Amino acid sequence: MAHEIAVRVRFYELDPYNHVNHSAYIQYFETARIELLESIGFGMPVLDSLGLRIVVTGITTRFLRSAGPGDDLTVETEVARIRRATSQWLQRIRRNDEILATQAVDAAMTDTEGRPARFLPELAAALGPYLADGP
């Protein structure tokens, strides 16, 4: 099951061609991942209080179609895999049933000093419903 958030395109996210700038898509994706974590009780303040951070180590983004002013978009987020200290997140931005962009994000769990840390079993369990292949 994918976690979903709604986004409405704002005028300042447009490029000179009146399309959503590619960097805005990256921000939409980031916002969706943060909102997923918040929805399961592991938002940034909670992770920080646990001495943990999830840091992006790689992003592959594909832009398939353009979004424009005032478009209502949906950002979907799933977790492809969780390993001892890493994870991969799969995301899509769509307008109705039309997929506009996709992204795969590789991330690492670290402590607040940037050293690798184990993925909390409680966090992995909370993300279970959002695993791409099911819990």
* CATH topology (fold) of 3-130: Thiol Ester Dehydrase; Chain A (3.10.129)
Residue boundaries of the structural domains of the chain: 3-130
For residue 134, the model assigns a pLDDT of: 55
Summarised one tens digit per residue, pLDDT across range 58-105 is: 999 999 999 999 999 999 999 999 999 999 999 999 999 999 999 999
Model pTM greater than 0.85? yes
Q: What value does the mean pLDDT take over residues 42-66?
A: 97
- Per the prediction, the chain carries an average pLDDT of 96
Residues 104, 62: contact at Cβ < 8 Å? Answer: no
pLDDT above 90: percentage of residues in the chain = 97
SS3 helix, strand, coil % of the chain, rounded to 5?
Answer: 25, 40, 30
